[in-house]
Structure 1
Amino acid sequence: MQKEQQQLAELVKGKKVAFIGAGVSHKTLIEEFVGLGAHVTLCDKKNSVDDFGSYAETIRRLGIDLSLGEHYMDGFQGQDIILRTPGFEYYQKPLQDAIAAGTLVTSEVELFFDYCPCEIVGVTGSDGKTTTTTLISKFYEAAGRKVHLGGNIGAALLPMLPDVAPEDVAVVELSSFQLISMRKSPKIAVVTNVTPNHLDHHKDMQEYIDAKRNILLHQVPPCREVLGYENDITRSMVPDCKGKQVWFTRLHDTDNGAFLRGDGMLCMAEDGVVTPFLAQKDIKLRGLHNIENLLAAAAAVWGEVPVEAIQKVGSTFTGVEHRIEPVRVLDGVTYYNDSIGTSPTRTIAGLRSFDQKVILIAGGYDKHIPYEPLAPEVIAHVKNLVLMGATGPRIEKAVCEHPDFAASGLTIQHADTMQHAVELARAAAQPGDIIILSPASASFDLYPNFEVRGREFKKIVNELK
């Protein structure tokens, strides 16, 4: 057992440890913690062990205590350690009471940060996190480094700990839910932008911003911070920076960071030297927002990897699933899956990626974020709008109340299901048209996550005759 794993074992051995929920990462960790000698309690809203399906057998085999149902948070009492899941709101009273009573409240990501022996690069923001994180990981891989990729991007990091060597690099996508309680920050931190999001979970916009700032607040020099210049909130984070702060920007030249020059070259300016490193025409990623993601990723690794590695990845990488992902051409109509469009700003970026008006499928779970900023973009970039879900009426109201709506010729329809939405969109399409799923909303009204939503859309489209 390596040193870091030994330290984790010393933390949990003989301790009473409660896990909130049995998601993918917790299922792995529960087994590991029992093996390390912890006395584990699983706290979950489910009403009985049988509600866990196939995992019920594991619960019984491991002898885990259960605190279930309406009062599942009663299981927090008397615990030495509580591992929360990102979806569990940090400031709920039972959790804060446990902290006040001396319980260590932590998470899988926080423990990884505590014990990880290698350099960590962290990425957060309202938009662009996953593509930027993926690009950074590919830059390091192209440079010959072993990369551990995880966090909000989908893979649990703590179970990777036995395989992490000091010379490796961990590249971590961090959500506001993960950051809100973190007391360690990565050596290299990227904040892409901060716009209204997740206001169904955060008390207010300030709590959301403060959670994002945690990626910077606990850095220890020498360190590096990459901030989006075009976003007022990220620009205001400069006083939080403790190391070498650089910008990324598509709209301005800068003498401190990565930028898109007027001649179409992506450049990096640092220490008085401007280095052009990639031509915009050679980039395979669709959309100007992805130029920004490339600039952010390059600014993060500048000086850490050879320029040739950035050039190689930047000119070959075609994107991440569910992000303006081409699905199919049928009857001359091209279908795109942009299910990652869980907020208006993401959907706006997707719409701006096309040089023609599109047919847009939008709507979903309501995160209590404003839709007025989406309205002029829909009017400018959409000819047929198919709405579904709880936010459908809210999006329609914002669009219809815009002063340019009456003259726009935009048609709006409503669908009950994704199948119905695709059928309505297809009926409205002519050869040469583009249909894009970019909901500007979360998926939780109908789907467990945006990935499942995107894959159902692709399945429906691919089964069209």
Structure 2
Amino acid sequence: MSIDFNRFKQDIIGKKVGVVGLGVSNIPLIRYLLTLGAEVYGFDQRKLEALSQEVHDFRSEVRLSLGENYLDDLKGLDMIFKTPGMRIDHPALLSAKEEGAVITSEMDEFLKYCSARTIGITGSDGKTTTTTVVGEILKKAGYHVYVGGNIGTPLFTKLDEIKPSDVVVLELSSFQLMTMTNSPEIAIVTNLSPNHLDMHKDMQEYIEAKMNIFRYQKPGDLLILNEDNEITKSFAPLANGKVEFFSSKNENEDAYFSDGSLYLRYERIVDLSEMKVKGVHNAENFLAAFLAVEDFVQKPIMRELALSFPGVKHRCQFIREHEGVRYYNDSIASSPTRTLASISSLEKKVNVILGGYDKQLDFAPLAEEGYKYIKNAILVGDTRHKIQESFRTASKKSGQQIPIHMAETFEDAVKKLRAISQEGDLAILSPACASFDLFRNFEERGDRFVQLVNEF
């Protein structure tokens, strides 16, 4: 049972509350805290002129600390909502905690007070698609659904309107989970592989963060795990509630993929060939979603959604066919494993753009397996030479050589992609890296790719 949200609203009146990060997701939170009667302090390393008009609009109501030394004033506060990307062991936060401040996050507070059923999804790959599929199945079944967390609308400000009969579906990143002390009633871990090692100290810290999605579950709760992934499989003995598995290799699990079909409790739900999305990784996403909604959605509704679901933008999104070449936008693929999953799901070898911001990931698995799926590779961004070296090393071991083309700019990479692609080819942006070297986020990178392809 959740805690009565009225308790929070009573306690927050007149309290000094800090919000670290004045980006788009925290603006609604600040406005809401003001309506509740809190004394709000806003912190951001950017200067005022770089912030949105909304920040300018409420600066008379919120005490702002901006610029290079913005955290010097993180003192004397009762509560601090930190931005997900800020480490909990940041010296300024540790100092504030020692002084008595409660360090929390919008998502942790939401789960503490939410009265509706909650379903949380995390993983290195597939969490956005799985989150979207769960939400769409529930909507088709007639439920009033809120989708949020790492995607969608900030939900803390919706607590007053969310009813116990509603369902909340949350995509949860390792950054959000790192400081969580509450877990959703139903938790899915799609898979785990090295990711975000530029932010986390090491792989173990990354794994520990992901485990918070089920660490605080109760005996009646449900944990859904990928049986094929050694890391997620190892979580089962640590669960407080019921554990169920999905698999694309083992037909003895609760939900499984076999001979081209998706099964739930040995009942065939749909064939992958009937679905608009392709690839075994998407079959796994749907299997996890089926298990999450099984207790309150009938199987024919699951099948109906599986047949009609078009996929999620920037995730192997078909753009157009031009001069006999089919172009795909897979900008979400910010890790080598994600890129491998995408390119292996397509029906033939691809011409692919790789490279971007360096998250300190190992490209050897992509290079060693890539020759099966890559016809040509165009390398761009901060990691282009690192990826090139991985392919050279892999080629020496296997004797398999992939033609490599180096690009200086993103636009140059797209031009090269067009130039080397011939009629009948598949051409894809699936970078295996984050976007921060050239773009604000993967969406901006994907939108730019779509724009350039549509200008051919």
TM bin (shorter chain): over 0.9
The answer for the alignment partner of 2:255 in structure 1 is: 258
Structure 2 residue 323 is the aligned partner of structure 1 residue 318: no
Change in Cα spacing, 1:189 to 1:56, as seen in structure 2 (3 Å) is closer
CA offset at residue 405 of structure 1? 7.5
2:66 to 65, 68, 79: 68
Change in Cα spacing, 1:53 to 1:219, as seen in structure 2 (3 Å) is closer
**Within 2, Cα distance between the matches of 1:87 and 1:210?**
16
Structure 2 residue 329 is the aligned partner of structure 1 residue 337: yes
CA offset at residue 275 of structure 1? 2.4
Q: Equivalent residue of 1:215, what SS?
A: helix
The answer for the alignment partner of 1:148 in structure 2 is: 146
CA offset at residue 410 of structure 1? 2.1
The residue correspondences of 1:362-381 to structure 2 (distance < 5 A) are: 362-381=354-373
Q: Equivalent residue of 1:163, what SS?
A: coil
CA offset at residue 314 of structure 1? 1.0
The residue correspondences of 1:116-265 to structure 2 (distance < 5 A) are: 116-254=114-252, 256-262=253-259, 264-265=260-261
Q: Bigger CA drift: 274-283 or 402-411?
A: 402-411
Contact 2:395 2:401 in 1 (8 A): no
TM-score normalised to the size of structure 1? 0.94
CA offset at residue 302 of structure 1? 1.3
**Within 1, Cα distance between the matches of 2:296 and 2:378?**
46
**Within 2, Cα distance between the matches of 1:300 and 1:406?**
41
Change in Cα spacing, 1:405 to 1:385, as seen in structure 2 (3 Å) is farther
Q: What's the Cα RMSD here?
A: 1.6
**Within 1, Cα distance between the matches of 2:201 and 2:91?**
13
Q: Equivalent residue of 1:251, what SS?
A: coil
The answer for the alignment partner of 1:22 in structure 2 is: 22
- Return 5+ residue gaps in structure 2 as ranges: none
Deviations 1:15-37 (A, max 9, x none): 11111111112111111111211
The answer for the alignment partner of 1:328 in structure 2 is: 320
Amino acid at match of 1:205: M
TM-score normalised to the size of structure 2? 0.96
Structure 2 residue 96 is the aligned partner of structure 1 residue 104: no
Q: Bigger CA drift: 350-359 or 196-205?
A: 350-359
The answer for the alignment partner of 1:11 in structure 2 is: 11
Contact 2:118 2:186 in 1 (8 A): yes
- Return 5+ residue gaps in structure 1 as ranges: none
Contact 1:383 1:409 in 2 (8 A): no
Amino acid at match of 2:257: L
Change in Cα spacing, 1:114 to 1:406, as seen in structure 2 (3 Å) is closer
Q: Equivalent residue of 1:427, what SS?
A: helix
**Within 2, Cα distance between the matches of 1:445 and 1:57?**
28
The answer for the alignment partner of 2:420 in structure 1 is: 428
CA offset at residue 57 of structure 1? 2.4
The residue correspondences of 1:367-406 to structure 2 (distance < 5 A) are: 367-403=359-395
Q: Bigger CA drift: 380-389 or 166-175?
A: 380-389
CA offset at residue 74 of structure 1? 1.7
**Within 2, Cα distance between the matches of 1:45 and 1:318?**
39
Q: Bigger CA drift: 274-283 or 345-354?
A: 274-283
**Within 1, Cα distance between the matches of 2:156 and 2:409?**
38
Percent pairwise identity: 42
Q: Equivalent residue of 1:318, what SS?
A: coil
Contact 1:257 1:268 in 2 (8 A): yes
